[in-house]
Amino acid sequence: MDRRATFWVLSLPPLLWLGLFFVAPLLLMAAFSFRPDMRGDFLAWYTPTLDQYAIVAKTGSYGRLLGISTLIALVVALSATLLAYPVAYYLAFRAGVRAGFYLVLLLVPFWTSYLLRIMAWKMMLGSEGVINSFLQYTGLSQEPIRLLFYNRGAVIVTLVYVWIPFAALPILAALQRIEPALSEAAADLGATPWRQFRRVIFPLSLPGVLAAFFMVFIPTVGEYVTPMLVGGSRGSLYGNIIQEFFTKAVNWPLGAALSMIMLLATLILVIAAVRLVDLRRLIE
């Protein structure tokens, strides 16, 4: 086969897969956001309307909650990336022959259910959890500390824990592509270890750092499982409102409109960050 035929043979299956399971659901969600209500069959013909978006615009609490969710996602993404970088750096340059073993340990959380990991933090942070029980046993606290649980602080702590292993992988991949000879050349030219890191290692690893940041930030904006389990009513985020409209309220058009607004807001933030942030200025 010639190159063009080979290209289509290799590209067509994943394109069809993405179109069927990614693009089509997004288009269906967008179309549903223009429905006036839930009356009629699922695929019944209807006159498109902006009523759902008008409801969102009139309800200021939706916008505030989206802003809070975006801010929390930013904090979680920054924290997870900062904490994952030393882990990835150690695996790439300091672990030596044990790097494979430590990498397996890093991947161990992937072998357990996401819900089990969240419930483990619920048991640790709860009013009768491990931390509060220890504080009361040692006499450091006379009653359970309510600030540890059912609030957005608990959501942030839990999400950072969940995402650190994920964030470490793209950073590790970027660090492993750096030639050791570059650091050796910098050392020969008199650069200290810190200067080698600041001028050589970190700039070359920035693509992995950005990939880790956005890999955490984008799904965290719409997170609803963790806030529901460890956040309670005081830790609800934007994703919880969407989930409520699709389940309990049975108002799919409004939930679809909220979802599309979140998607557009996230895309705008990502595009703006990629285009406006000059990475070279950050490392000078």
Residue 263 falls within a domain, yes or no? yes
The answer to whether the CB of 34 falls within 8 A of the CB of 52 is: yes
Mean pLDDT in each 10-residue stretch from start to end of the chain (284 residues)?
Answer: 79 89 90 86 79 92 94 96 95 89 87 84 80 81 75 90 93 91 86 88 90 93 90 87 90 93 91 69 47
Total residue count of the chain as it appears in this document: 284
Residue 16 falls within a domain, yes or no? no
Structural domain count of the chain = 1
The answer to whether the CB of 258 falls within 8 A of the CB of 62 is: yes
Residue 26 falls within a domain, yes or no? no
Q: Print the domain residue range for 96.
A: 52-283
Residue 145 falls within a domain, yes or no? yes
- The pLDDT of residue 84 is 96
- The pLDDT of residue 175 is 93
- The pLDDT of residue 282 is 47
The dihedral sign for the CA sequence 178, 180, 183, 189? negative
- The pLDDT of residue 135 is 81
Residue 184 falls within a domain, yes or no? yes
Residue 31 falls within a domain, yes or no? no
Q: What is the CATH number of the domain that holds 182?
A: 1.10.3720.10
- Cα separation, 121 vs 84, whole angstroms: 19
Number of H helices, E strands in the chain: 15, 0
Amino acid at residue number 183: S
Pull the structure tokens for residue 15. Answer: 């394109």
Amino acid at residue number 67: G
Phi, psi angles (nearest 5°) of residue 105: -60, -40
**Nearest in space to 119 (alpha carbons), one of 232, 220, 229, 237:** 229
Place of tokens 């609803």: 224
- The pLDDT of residue 277 is 62
Residue 232 falls within a domain, yes or no? yes
**How much is the pTM?**
0.87
The answer to whether the CB of 85 falls within 8 A of the CB of 93 is: no
Residue 4 falls within a domain, yes or no? no
